[in-house]
Structure 1
Amino acid sequence: MGIFNYFTQEIAIDLGTANFLILHEDKIVVDEPSIVAFNRSSGKVLAIGRKAMQMEGKVHEDIRIVRPLKDGVIADFHAAEHMLKGMLQLINKSKKPLFPSFRMVICVPCGITEVEKRAIRDSAEILGAREVYLIHEPIAAAVGIGLDVQGSTGHMIIDIGGGTTEIAVLALSGIVCDQSIRVAGDDFDAEIVDYMRQQHNLLIGLPTAEKIKLAVGAALTELSQPPADFAIRGRDLISGLPKQVQVSYSGIAHCLDRSLAKIEDAILATLEITPPELSADIHQSGIFLSGGGALLRGLAQRISSKTKLPTHVVDDPLRAVVRGTGIALKNIGQYRFLMR
């Protein structure tokens, strides 16, 4: 057995509904969409991550596209296992045979159940994890942007991901009050699909809706620096022929209003149950936005207008959670909020 290497690797994982990120040795080594493509007849994995995403909406009957996570938790255990395995293999590119065991810190939503926690732990252990720790997403985001979560000063974090929006008030290494709602980036995409069908008689897929969201997605119908209209192609519902239309940011802001209103209501509900001493801290420091949804144009202004509190989009919001998860991994003995 001398030809084999056995060793332990420490990795931090942001197991997101939309994106899967792995941090190893202080570097983000994997940043891929959370999606897998299977051959229907053989069950063989054809592609994971970006390659599988390129197939979405274009496959024939022999290919099955699966998103293993829904609302921030594992919905398809088999597909999640294959996705985890494929992503972990991207870390080890040595020519020697390697049989690593892993110490993992994985971030999870606040509203996760014990059954859902067990599903994540089981998936990790099947793939060689000797130690598995879980960390709630808002705490990971707060650590990732440099906030002192162990002190007595309160902080409010809103993490808008692909499947869930996590709203939490943090102090003394814990979550004092929180709301976890299943309204987030995936719902934005679905609403854009409906909007294009109703307003333009154009049928598009979710990947195209994602492109529209990135190009002209907005939370306000009036912006000081508006993006240019975006040309999008799809199938005309009346003629059945391909056609192209121009999409404006104001139209997208109007179609996203219902989902954003639900997020605003959850923020207000969380503020209403926040202890008064922590409310005073939040009034001074404001609200911090992380996650891909934080990049929606005008969202910080909209939330600030609704709550009358300063609202900040953190630096590199897409990676704030995985950065915080990595810091927690390096300080496992110090952080009491890690769940074993």
Structure 2
Amino acid sequence: MFGRDIGIDLGTANVLIHVKGRGIVLNEPSVVAVDSQSGKALAVGEEAFRMVGRTPGNIVALRPMKDGVIADFDLTEAMLKHFLSKVNVKGMFSKPRILICCPTNITSVEQKAIREAAEKSGGKNIFLEEEPKVAAVGAGMDIFQPSGNMVVDIGGGTTDVAVLSMGDVVTATSIKTAGDQFDLDILSYIKKEYKLLIGERTAEDIKKEVATVSPEGSSNEMEIRGRDMVSGLPRTITITSSEIYHTLTESVGHIVHAAKGVLERTPPELSADIIDRGVIVTGGGALLHGMDDLLSEELKVPVFIAEEPMHCVANGTGIILENLDKMSSKKVKI
């Protein structure tokens, strides 16, 4: 039994693992529940996520990743070890090769931290690849041709925008406005407007169910429960899509601004290709109602949502691993 190749989408909100020959074998939240007294990890992933906001004082549910990079090294390592042992990929004689994705503008120190965490979790050769490039491959773009492809990857912690050609990033940017920021916007709006405290999970449910970024958005409404800040008692309110639309305007504006910035720095020949081919949106943020229409209107080019936006990066790692041997002659290991 030889070590297999593994692709890891080490996201701020979720970790996805792709194993060569098996496809995506794991998709769990990037959460670790820790005993604050002993510092011991008690639960990881789905099990820990269920504890968010529902634990006694000595147990805290933490996210070891922040804005696409490692915020807590030991917890990230513990989380990766747990996930890798869960998917059971260690060979008897050899360790697997691991390809991990990272945002485009992380520092060499942050890259080193990701590499070390993967090595300590049992990887042999660790390859780092830029997230939008992997997302584009996973979305089915042929980025190895001499033509322009543009991808907007809206994850949990970061939004990565890149124009790719000849298998590499031509222009790119990464901003720390993404899914988590949308959740915070919703939380603070409901706190300010209704004097109601809700948890992170409720905010995420609102984002998935009723949030829209299109002015002619859906007219959905949703009942939510939380704690009244005045009386301290539980209370139920109903919120609508149009309320959330106004709440998200500023954050979504940052993403539009970042995409415009990348287009402005793109060589004209590649810009012409993007008008023909359009822009592909990947990541969980692609599922936000009206995101494609808004981007299309602002960027003046066609915009498409990838088929399985949440899985693009993980699927892309699989495709790149397949081609790793062909590419490794020109691959630079950091």
Normalised by the length of structure 2, the TM-score is: 0.95
Moved more, 22-31 or 329-338: 329-338
Q: Matched residue of 1:65: which SS? A: strand
Provide the rounded CA distance (Å) in 1 between the counterparts of 2:144 and 2:318: 17
Amino acid at match of 2:3: T
Of 98, 112, 120, the match for 2:114: 120
* Correspondence 1:97-246 to 2 at 5 A: 101-223=95-217, 226=218, 228-246=220-238
1:319 is displaced (CA, Å) by 0.1
Contact 1:193/1:206, CA 8 A, preserved across alignment: yes
1:99 is displaced (CA, Å) by 7.3
Contact 2:6/2:318, CA 8 A, preserved across alignment: yes
Provide the rounded CA distance (Å) in 2 between the counterparts of 1:73 and 1:284: 34
1:334 is displaced (CA, Å) by 2.7
Contact 1:220/1:250, CA 8 A, preserved across alignment: no
Q: Matched residue of 2:119: which SS? A: helix
Contact 1:20/1:31, CA 8 A, preserved across alignment: yes
Provide the rounded CA distance (Å) in 1 between the counterparts of 2:295 and 2:110: 31
Aligned-residue CA RMSD in angstroms? 1.7
Q: Matched residue of 1:267: which SS? A: helix
Q: Matched residue of 1:8: which SS? A: coil
Q: Which residue is 1:283 aligned to?
A: 275
Normalised by the length of structure 1, the TM-score is: 0.94
Provide the rounded CA distance (Å) in 2 between the counterparts of 1:100 and 1:18: 30
Percent of matched pairs sharing the same residue: 44
Provide the rounded CA distance (Å) in 2 between the counterparts of 1:112 and 1:42: 32
Q: Which residue is 2:284 aligned to?
A: 292
Of 318, 322, 339, the match for 2:314: 322
1:301 pairs with 2:293? yes
Of 28, 32, 43, the match for 2:28: 32
Moved more, 62-71 or 154-163: 62-71
Can you list the C-alpha shifts for 1:33-73, whole angstroms capped at 9, x where unaligned?
A: 00000122233221111111111112222212210101101
**Structure 1 residues 149 and 129, CA gap change in structure 2 (3 angstroms):** same
Provide the rounded CA distance (Å) in 2 between the counterparts of 1:50 and 1:338: 35
Contact 1:135/1:338, CA 8 A, preserved across alignment: no
1:156 is displaced (CA, Å) by 0.5
Amino acid at match of 1:175: V
The list of structure 1 runs, each at least 4 consecutive aligned residues, that deviate by more than 6 angstroms after superposition, is: none
Of 241, 261, 264, the match for 2:253: 261
Q: Which residue is 2:5 aligned to?
A: 10
Provide the rounded CA distance (Å) in 1 between the counterparts of 2:2 and 2:317: 21
1:100 is displaced (CA, Å) by 5.6
**Structure 1 residues 100 and 47, CA gap change in structure 2 (3 angstroms):** farther
Of 11, 14, 25, the match for 1:19: 14
**Structure 1 residues 141 and 339, CA gap change in structure 2 (3 angstroms):** farther
1:9 is displaced (CA, Å) by 2.2
Provide the rounded CA distance (Å) in 2 between the counterparts of 1:316 and 1:203: 33
Can you list the C-alpha shifts for 1:82-122, whole angstroms capped at 9, x where unaligned?
A: 1001111111299xx96761210111110111111100110
Contact 2:89/2:96, CA 8 A, preserved across alignment: no
Provide the rounded CA distance (Å) in 1 between the counterparts of 2:265 and 2:185: 30
Contact 1:215/1:227, CA 8 A, preserved across alignment: no
Of 46, 49, 57, the match for 1:50: 46
Amino acid at match of 1:289: V
Q: Which residue is 1:66 aligned to?
A: 62
Contact 1:26/1:326, CA 8 A, preserved across alignment: no
Amino acid at match of 1:316: E
Contact 2:161/2:173, CA 8 A, preserved across alignment: yes
Provide the rounded CA distance (Å) in 1 between the counterparts of 2:7 and 2:261: 32
Q: Which residue is 1:251 aligned to?
A: 243
**Residues matched between the structures, number:** 331
Q: Matched residue of 1:28: which SS? A: strand
Q: Which residue is 2:302 aligned to?
A: 310
* Structure 1, gaps ≥5 residues long: 1-5
Contact 2:81/2:122, CA 8 A, preserved across alignment: no
Q: Matched residue of 2:310: which SS? A: coil
